[in-house]
Amino acid sequence: MTKFSALVVIATQNRHKVREIRKILGRPSFAVRGLDDFGLAYKVRETGKTLAANALLKARAAAGRTGRLCLADDTGLEVDALHGAPGVYSARFAGPACSYEDNNRKLLRVLDGEKRRTARFRCVVAVVLPDGRERLFEGVCAGRILRERRGSQGFGFDPLFQPAGHKKSFAEMSLRQKNRISHRSRAFLKARKFLQGLYRRSPSLFAVSSEK
């Protein structure tokens, strides 16, 4: 049986991120597609000084290339002992061409011997509509930086981040567990509520995807 869902595009080629967002936004509400589903491979220079600015840069670029309703997020890890760093520079904390492992290794090094390890993940989601309207949504998850990597799930700083009130790192949690509390989930759930209302009022803004 074929089902029809409103289509939203996530402005990323990161399959881990698309999978995570699909679980948050997906059925029965929306069919979620990444840039790979459109054969698009390009790099947006994240020159913004804030998470919101970078999220908008990515969402606008994707909307321009696909002509469809697009979402993008930018996420930063804010460590109190580092005065909020790496923040907007989290993805390239260890350098322009760094890996997740490089970033984790640097974070452990700069916090070596530091007792104050409180931190938070902050996520900003930008929604860009085909008619040019834009909206922003934010989610925050507080926690602490561990002294060693734990777990093999997730990506980015997940092995080093233990959310407040929990004994596991993000990387030790299942995707379902993580999505109950994560910064990204909180931001995208706000975006989903907005999109659901928008679809009821203006379904023509959404392309329709068929799924079996």
Name the residue type at position 103: N
What value does the mean pLDDT of the chain take? Answer: 91
**Average pLDDT of the segment spanning 66-77:** 94
Higher pLDDT, 33 or 80: 80
Residue 77: count other Cβ atoms within 10 Å of its Cβ: 26
Element (H, E) at 23: helix 15-25
Is pLDDT of 210 > 60? no
Residue 199 above 50 pLDDT? yes
Question: What's this model's pTM, rounded to 2 decimal places?
Answer: 0.89
Instruction: List, in order, residues 6 or more apart from 27 with CB less than 8 Å away.
Output: 3, 5
Selected residue with higher pLDDT from 110 and 26: 110
Q: What is the pLDDT of residue 2?
A: 42
> Tokens at residue 123, please?
């996520």
Q: Give strand pairing partners of 136.
A: 126
pLDDT for 37 equals: 85
Read off the tokens for 206.
């959404």
For 191-210, give the secondary structure using H, E and C. HHHHHHHHHHHCHHHCEEEE
Strand partners, 209: 5
Q: Is position 74 annotated as part of the catalytic site? A: yes
36, 37, 73, 74: which one is catalytic?
74
pLDDT for res 208:
67
Region at 175 (left for phi over 0; alpha for psi -120 to 50; beta for the rest) = alpha
Mean pLDDT, residues 90-111: 95
Distance CA 188, CA 122 (A): 12
For 3-211, give the CATH class: alpha beta
